[in-house]
Amino acid sequence: MPKGKRVMNILPAQFVLQLYITGDTVSSRKAMTEVKTIVSEDLKDDVRLEIVDLLLNPEEAERYNIMVTPTLIRTHPKPEKKIIGDLSNKENLLTALDSTPRQ
């Protein structure tokens, strides 16, 4: 696995999410906490989460045309969906991902 990438859970998964951050900042830590909470509490085992630090992997920013962090990309199922900026509203995030909380 390339430097600066962390993966949570393993495939098969209903959703594959990539969270792009820039370094160890308050904003990056907050985004990681919020997304990990939603993954563990609402989406359960149906998600593979990859966290990519763009300071360590700048080529990823170009690959996905990322101009702002945090950016969360749902790469599976297709079509891809991009959520940019504030990831703190759980209901909005789940709606944007086309998901509903699991009971």
Q: Per the structure block, which two tokens stand in for 47?
A: 């998600």
- Delimit the domains of the chain by residue range: 5-96
Instruction: Give CA–CA dist 48/11, Å, rounded.
Output: 6
pTM score over 0.85: no
pLDDT confidence of residue 103: 43
| CATH (one of 2.30.110.10, 3.50.50.60, 3.40.30.10, 3.10.105.10) for 5-96 | 3.40.30.10
Q: Which tens digit of pLDDT belongs to each residue from 61-102?
A: 999 999 999 999 999 888 899 999 989 888 888 888 876 544
Q: Per the structure block, which two tokens stand in for 89?
A: 């509203």
pLDDT confidence of residue 12: 60
Q: Which tens digit of pLDDT belongs to each residue from 1-59?
A: 455 655 544 446 788 999 999 999 999 999 999 999 988 888 876 788 999 999 999 99
